[in-house]
Structure 1
Amino acid sequence: MIHSVRRILVTGSAFAALALLGVQAAPAQDAAPSSATDIPDDVSVAKMDPDNRHASAKVNGEIITGTDVEQRVALIVAANEGVEISDEEMQRLRQQVMRNLIDETLEIQEAAAQDMAVTKQEVDEYYLRYAAQRFGRTPEKLDEYLKSVGSSPASLKRQIEGELAWDRLLQRNVRPFVNVSAEEVNELYQRLQAAKGTPEYKLSEIYLSSTPETHEAVGENAKRIVEQLRQGGSFLAYARQFSEASTAAVGGDLGWIKLEQLQNPTLETVARNMQPGQLVGPIEIPGGYSILYLQDKRQVGMADPRDAVLSLKQISLEFPKGTSEEEAKAKAAAFAQAATQIKGCGDADAAGKAMGAQVVTNDNIPVRALPEALQQTMLKLNVGETTPPFGSLEEGVRVLMLCGRDDPSPEAGPNYDQLMAQLEDDRVGKRAQRYLRDLRRDAVVEDN
């Protein structure tokens, strides 16, 4: 696990967390005290009138207003629809957003000081592409949406400017000085080859750092984050706003890893016992707390049966309105018995018609696209066999018949260039952390 700077732009994915805008849910978050001693942990941010430009903080003389904070918070709240946010939680969210805005301002100022300022035209062009590619909207429609949820185009464009400025700084001042040798890449490749057939995990993380003085408070904040996630909050957005790992920019996604890459025995033990879809935390580790979410699990270099592509026939029998439960059970039993008599997919259409059932052909269906409860059942079927019947009184009863299956090829694994990029990104992340800490240390931040 790479505990480094929160915000590193990764082209094409760093703005995934901006899916806060309603397409991909991204929730409110819990604040973790900053590890930078010059940024107060108890920044006071009062809810502001949209027309009130009162300064909530000054960063090297540049004002961050209450309105700036509220409009950024609104992006998170809008995407967190359906998850209740208490007043106390909202205040912590404002504090964390304030910290993010301070970092963002420092990054923009640093880019300008080094004659690398992001221009308005560059931001507008990115906003245009983002509106079209991410949301299928015109910039004008995206403007309307942002205003309707209490945010503004200016708030999102400011975030874009900060991301682009930080990426520009890293590309010139950090990445050129990161070196990875061919020997290191080859060594990693050999380790991966030796690990073929062993488990690999697709994990997401949220890391909150703490000091002895803030340890208890950070732990409480981590617990509240977990509570919000269990209520339906988006892990991606929480990681984006709160995690202090370099993966925050991509919603906490660590990608496919071996557990040894976590470099922490406690986290290795926890992750090894997790099941896909499981959230665990907060986990106390040296220097802070971690929250883990296991997206998936597989074996290194081996084909995953769930990547098989199926050809199916769905045979469905609806119950007329007013059908009693007893009548439905009797019809379902007769339907199930008749389904077992179908002589393969070529006979399914005629047999379905005789049963009064509807038959629909579905080709190119990945096993992963099916409900989890059906995946293992489908993998055990032979061509021409059907699943046990499933359904309800309201939806009717149905079975799936397997007509064909294209099994997946074994995973080739990452190539040399991908491994090189992985090692480089790890080192860029660690240096970026120090870079941002230096900016915070040298800044004059006034809390009003």
Structure 2
Amino acid sequence: MRASTPAYTMSRPMSESVAAIVNDDIISTYDLAQRMRLLIATTGIQPTQENLPEFQQQALLSLIDEHLELQELKRVEKDQKFPIILNDQEVRDEITDMASNNKMTADQLLASLKSQGIAEDTLFQQIRASRSWEHWISGRYGSRLRIGEDQIQATKARLVAAASKPQYDVSEVFIDAGRAGGMDAANKGAAQLVAQLQQGAPFAAVARQFSSSSTAAAGGDAGWISPGEMPPQVDTALEQLRPGQLSQPIPVKDGVYIIYLRDKRAGAGQTLVSLKQAAIALPADAPAADVEAARTKLIAVRSQIKDCATLEATVRNTPGVIAGDLGEAETSDLLPEFAEAAKTLQPGQLSQPIRTKVGLHVLAVCGKRAAGAAQIDHDQIENRLKGQQLSMISRRALRDLHSTATIEQR
């Protein structure tokens, strides 16, 4: 079953006129008024004479984007002959999830919107366009994206290096200057949103409707970040904020950020490392010839170890060499001979043979994280990088559609 208009719609006024034309599609003044009502209802922002023009502009931009997205999806459906656009049941499932997040049923949510003069079809069409576009971008490009291991390790190394710095738990709204009509318009829109947020508008709802960031679908939740993960202007603002505070608009190269600082923690003073070892027992007074022979054997074994997961199996085949899992420990608690290697090596790297009073050891660093900070594993980093790339691809694809479209605003 393909997408169709829900049975319930509000009566359309006889006096409606054309608000915009997107290629051959008409956006009526009724459509625009409905979308403005939906924005007001879902963000909790109180309409005023000052912010109504911003609501109208945002509503019109959203409708234009959605028409372009649906036009492109219909073209792809026709060429590829398989469904892409969500059908009514799929849209209703999305609404059910949305209502559940607000501790409501879908019928209660739709009834609440109806009481505010918002037609069911208005919400249906917004969700149909946005979710269909997200699913298509993810399906078309997600499987093609290849996040290199070097990218993941570089990100992990940067996070480890930043662990000693303050960390911030933030929510964000990003107003794309290109979409808003320039930096002046983006700054003005951001200032109006800040004023409404200060008066109690829910940050998550505002982010979902107004933000162009990849975090918009999650209500702007960017999680814990360290200095260097966002533009320098945002880092500077974060240094001045206290938990629970909202920033003023923060202009950056291509738009404007609004940041809400949920929490802040000092940088970890220690680094936790997970270690394994390959070792040969040698007393402190072992002859130099024995030490050198053991060193030669360990270097040969070291060259055969591919990673932490295969260390034990590799060492097992070499007589006189033992393998051991040293677990996770703070670098300050390690033997001085081990601590230096643990600090300088990155996860997956092996030390050269290290002499101690009891033997000769090759250390393998299997993991490294800041003490007291949540560990971000390999898959989390990969998913974060993939999400950022998909968001950029989506914005680029929409910009391309804008550049080739005929759009007339009345």
Which TM-score bucket, shorter chain as reference?
Answer: 0.5 to 0.7
Q: Secondary structure at the match of 1:293?
A: strand
CA distance in structure 2 between the aligned counterparts of 1:186 and 1:145, rounded to whole angstroms: 48
1:16-415 alignment runs, 5 A limit: 50=13, 52-79=15-42, 84-115=46-77, 116-131=84-99, 133-210=100-177, 214-262=182-230, 264-299=231-266, 410-415=372-377
Displacement, 1:197?
4.2
**Alignment identity in percent?**
32
Q: Which residue of 2 aligns with 1:428?
A: 390
The question of whether the paired residues in 1 share the 8 Å contact of 2:41 and 2:113 is answered with: no
Displacement, 1:234?
2.5
Q: Which residue of 2 aligns with 1:447?
A: 409
Q: How high is the TM-score relative to the length of structure 2? A: 0.64
| Structure 1 portions without partners, runs of 5+ | 1-47, 304-408
The AA in structure 2 aligned to 1:298 is: R
The AA in structure 2 aligned to 1:228 is: Q
Displacement, 1:435?
0.8
1:2-13 alignment runs, 5 A limit: none
Q: Secondary structure at the match of 2:250?
A: strand
Per-residue CA deviations over 1:136-177 (Å, capped at 9, x if unaligned) read 544433332111011121111111101221122212332233
Which stretch of structure 1 is more off in the superposition, 412-421 or 197-206?
A: 197-206
Per-residue CA deviations over 1:294-335 (Å, capped at 9, x if unaligned) read 1111246799xxxxxxxxxxxxxxxxxxxxxxxxxxxxxxxx
CA distance in structure 2 between the aligned counterparts of 1:241 and 1:164, rounded to whole angstroms: 13
Displacement, 1:100?
0.6
Aligned-CA RMSD value: 2.9
The AA in structure 1 aligned to 2:107 is: E
Q: Secondary structure at the match of 2:47?
A: coil
Which stretch of structure 1 is more off in the superposition, 93-102 or 83-92?
A: 83-92
The AA in structure 1 aligned to 2:196 is: Q
CA distance in structure 2 between the aligned counterparts of 1:79 and 1:129, rounded to whole angstroms: 15
CA distance in structure 2 between the aligned counterparts of 1:157 and 1:80, rounded to whole angstroms: 17
Aligned pair count reads 293
The question of whether the paired residues in 2 share the 8 Å contact of 1:247 and 1:254 is answered with: yes
The AA in structure 2 aligned to 1:236 is: A
Per-residue CA deviations over 1:257-298 (Å, capped at 9, x if unaligned) read 112101x22221211221111112222333333222211112
CA distance in structure 1 between the aligned counterparts of 2:143 and 2:25, rounded to whole angstroms: 30
Q: Which residue of 2 aligns with 1:363?
A: none
The question of whether the paired residues in 1 share the 8 Å contact of 2:245 and 2:261 is answered with: yes
The question of whether the paired residues in 1 share the 8 Å contact of 2:175 and 2:212 is answered with: yes
Q: Secondary structure at the match of 1:278?
A: coil
Change (3 A) 1:276 1:147: same
The AA in structure 2 aligned to 1:118 is: L
The AA in structure 2 aligned to 1:425 is: G
Q: Which residue of 2 aligns with 1:328?
A: none
Q: Secondary structure at the match of 2:163?
A: coil
Whose relative contact order is higher, 1 or 2, with alpha carbons under 8 Å and at least 6 apart? 1
Q: How high is the TM-score relative to the length of structure 1? A: 0.59
Q: Which residue of 2 aligns with 1:25?
A: none
Displacement, 1:254?
1.8
The question of whether the paired residues in 2 share the 8 Å contact of 1:302 and 1:411 is answered with: no
CA distance in structure 2 between the aligned counterparts of 1:282 and 1:103, rounded to whole angstroms: 24
The question of whether the paired residues in 2 share the 8 Å contact of 1:70 and 1:151 is answered with: no
CA distance in structure 2 between the aligned counterparts of 1:234 and 1:136, rounded to whole angstroms: 16
Q: Which residue of 1 aligns with 2:301?
A: none
Displacement, 1:226?
1.9
CA distance in structure 2 between the aligned counterparts of 1:74 and 1:107, rounded to whole angstroms: 22
Displacement, 1:84?
4.2
The question of whether the paired residues in 1 share the 8 Å contact of 2:250 and 2:256 is answered with: yes
Change (3 A) 1:427 1:49: same
Change (3 A) 1:302 1:277: farther
Displacement, 1:93?
0.5
Bigger Rg, structure 1 or 2: 2
CA distance in structure 2 between the aligned counterparts of 1:412 and 1:243, rounded to whole angstroms: 27
The AA in structure 1 aligned to 2:166 is: P
CA distance in structure 1 between the aligned counterparts of 2:233 and 2:33, rounded to whole angstroms: 38
The question of whether the paired residues in 2 share the 8 Å contact of 1:259 and 1:272 is answered with: no
Per-residue CA deviations over 1:372-420 (Å, capped at 9, x if unaligned) read xxxxxxxxxxxxxxxxxxxxxxxxxxxxxxxxxxxxx944411111111
CA distance in structure 2 between the aligned counterparts of 1:138 and 1:209, rounded to whole angstroms: 33
Change (3 A) 1:93 1:257: same
